[in-house]
Amino acid sequence: MVNVGIVGGTGYTGVELMRLLSMHPEARIGAITSRAEEGVSVGDIFPSLRGHVDLTFEKPSLSTLIGCDVVFFATPHGVAMEQARELVAAGVRVIDLAADFRLKDLSQWKKWYGPEHIAQDLLEEAVYGLPEINREKIKTARVVGNPGCYATAIELGFAPLLASGLIDPASLIADAKSGASGAGRKKELSIIYSEVGDNFKAYGLDGHRHHPEIVEVLSGVAGGGVKLKFTPHLLPINRGILATLYANLTEGGSSLVRESFENFFKNEPFVDMLPSGQFPDTRSVRGSNFCKIGVQLSEDQCSVVVISVLDNLVKGASGQAIQNMNIMFGLDEKMGLNGLGLVP
């Protein structure tokens, strides 16, 4: 049984971790922390978990967390790097759902996240937690940087084509849309119902913090630099990401596109490559850890369109974090994550 600690349990990724772990046969939540809700029971804040997570929020403390086998940080950026070193020294493995251990380029970290990185030694050894690319490294990792939600959808959509050399790495375009929960559980005018409902808008046109993460990972897959144009949009829905991806094909690449996806994902339990002519929607993955992908060639066979869809709180965050935990502890990778999409 894996003894789990969760730091920052009152946000959307925190409650999603609790929901999924409460159904995991080989995991037990031993500690759940929140400074703001210290002393309050989980069920009082999240009635959906009553009778399933019978814990009280505690103030974060090293003495509590070092008794865990793994600690998830469902916290804002900058928190995990302050506490991870002592946990790792005590033999606790760390999975950060924020960006503290995603980016290797410190100049990009400082540009997008502000403060100096104070755990650079751990950042150097940290593994980027996208199982479809880094599964073997995740197995032995002490620290995992869980990918961003947009990043997961876009990287899975482009990776097979880049790995096969079928697209021009300087031609990547990502037009991606996310539900409002991607902004987190907070009071902010731009994400209240009357602003989001019956509305659709682009944002981050001057740059988005997931952009350098995506470029760094895809450059590794391609074996060289890539150029990406990425525009995020806010959908009037709670959950889901739909990324429409475009790239120019290299000469002769059109006949190998589908084969590249099928080969790349043939043994992946949570990537569903749809048959020719079928394309996924957000409803098909809601509440599940699946990424569903559809592919279409342009009429002139010179470019490709990829539709990549996932639930931003599951495969885009907490579900993928548990998938990483399963790999790190030698469990069945699918354990606790077999739920299907909710329809309607």
Tell me the catalytic residues: 149
Sign of torsion, CA 194 189 60 16? positive
Q: Please, which residues have CB within 8 angstroms of residue 77's CB and are 6 or more apart in sequence?
A: 98, 99, 100, 113, 114
Sign of torsion, CA 285 286 290 293? positive
Measure the CA–CA gap between 287 and 283, rounded to whole angstroms. 9
**Site of tokens 């994400």:** 191
Roughly what angle, to the nearest 10 degrees, separates helices 149-163 and 257-264? 120
φ/ψ (deg, to 5) at 228: -130, 130
The 8 Å CB, 24+ separation contacts for 220-224 are 220/133, 221/133, 221/155, 221/158, 221/159, 221/162, 221/163, 222/162, 222/163, 222/169, 224/169
Cβ atoms of 289 and 306 closer than 8 Å: no
